[in-house]
Amino acid sequence: MKLFVRRFYAMFFAAIAAVTMGFVVTSCSDDDTPSTGDAPQYITNEQLARLGCYTDLHLHLDGSMSIQAARKLARLQDITLDMSDEELRKQLQVEEGCKDLDEYLEKFDFPGKLLQTSVGITESIKILAQELKDMGYIYAEIRFAPQKHCQKGLTQREVIEASIKGRQEAALPVSLILCCMRGDDTHEENLETVRLAAEYLDKGVSAIDIAGAEALFPTSAFADLFQLAKAKNVPFTIHAGEADGPESVKVALDYGARRIGHGVRSAEDASLMQRLVDEGITLECCPTSNLNTAIFQSISLYPFPLFMEKKVKFTVNSDNMAVSATNVIREFQLLNNAFHLTTDEVKQLLENSISASFASESLKEELRAKVNKAFLQDK
C-alpha cells in the first residue's frame, strides 16, 4: 500500500509537469512496474527522533530564535521584554492562515531588534548551535544578512566578525552564509556583503545567498552580485523557485549556483528537473516553510515522490525554526507521515546534505562517518 501511494504521487506530479511543458502522459501498464527486489525497510518517527546525525543547510539566524534565546539575548543587552511566553511566541512564530511569503517575512522584524549588537550576534550563534546539538544535529550552515544588523551603528564587517566569534565558540561545526537582500535600495550594501564574504572566506564564512521577497524583486535583477561573487571565487546558493516559479531557478542556474534555496517550483517543469539532474544541482527543501507561505496547500502535494523518482538531489531543512515552529527532525517526520520514508531514503537525504554542504572535505568525511555509525546502531 505504501509503495502504491508513493507511485501515485510521483505520477501525479509528473502529470502536472508534463501538462505544463505540453507533453502527454500515459499511464503505466503492469509490465512497466519496476522490480522492487527486497522489500523496503520503512523508518518510524521514533527512529527518526533518535538518529542523532542531522544537518541543516538552510537555516536563518533571525528566523530561528527560540523564546528562551530571545529572553537571554534581551538580558545580555539590557533590553526589557515585558511579555509572556505566549506573547513572545506570537512575535516569533507565524500564525495559521499566513497568506504568502511577504506576510511570513514580517516575523523577522522582532528578532532582528535583538541582533543589533556584537554581543547579541555572537551569543545568538552560540545559543542556536547549542540548541541544535541538543537535538542531535552534527552540522549546520547558518545564514543571515549583515546589512540587516547595522541599525544601531554596527558595520557589516563588525557584524561578520561577531558572527565568526560565535561560530568559533559554537557547540558543533557551523558554517556561515552571508545573505544579500532583495529590494530597490540594497545594491551598495549587497556589493559590500559580497566583497566582505570574499575577505572572510574560509575564516568562518563559506558562501553568499540572496533572500527576501522573491516575487517582488526577481533574481534576474541581481546579476551583477553573482558576477562579482564568481570573479572573487565566492560560492553561492540562491533563493529561487519558492514564491517565484521555475524560471527563477533557471536564472539562478545560469548565474552558476550549485545549490538552490527551496527550488520546489522546479517540479512544474520537466526539462528543468532534468537539468538539475544533469548538472548535479542540490535543492535545499524546507517543507513546513513552504506550507506556511502557501506554496503548497497540503504536505500530500509536496513533490517529494517526484524528485525521488526523477533523481533530483535535494536536502531536508528547517528554514526558520522559530517562525515555522519546526526543526529538521520534524521535517523528516512530516515527510514520513505523508510518504512513508525508507531507511535508505533517509540516509541518502542526509548524505545529500553532507555532499552539498560548504564544509571542508575533511569535515565531510567526519560527518559521513557519523551518519553511517548512526544507521548501524539503529539496526
Tell me the catalytic residues.
Answer: 242
Identify which of 216, 214, 238 has the alpha carbon closest to the alpha carbon of residue 225: 238
Grid cell 516575487 in the structure block, residue: 215
Tell me how far apart the alpha carbons of residues 288 and 267 are, in angstroms, rounded to a whole number. 17
Grid cell of 319 as nine digits: 528554514
Please, are residues 154 and 116 in contact by the beta-carbon 8 Å criterion?
yes
Cell of residue 78, nine digits: 539590557
The Cα–Cα gap between 264 and 249 comes to: 9
Cα 268 to Cα 18, 166, 241, distances in angstroms: 8, 40, 10
The three cell numbers locating residue 246: 521555475
Residue 145: CB partners within 8 Å, gap ≥ 6? 178, 179, 180, 181, 193, 211
| Residues 1 and 296 sit within 8 Å (Cβ to Cβ) | no
Give Cα separations from 276 to 241, 259, 270 (angstroms).
13, 10, 10
63: buried, middle or exposed (CB in 10 Å: 19+, 13-18, 0-12)?
buried
Distances (CA, A) of 179 to 64, 122, 127, 190: 15, 17, 20, 8
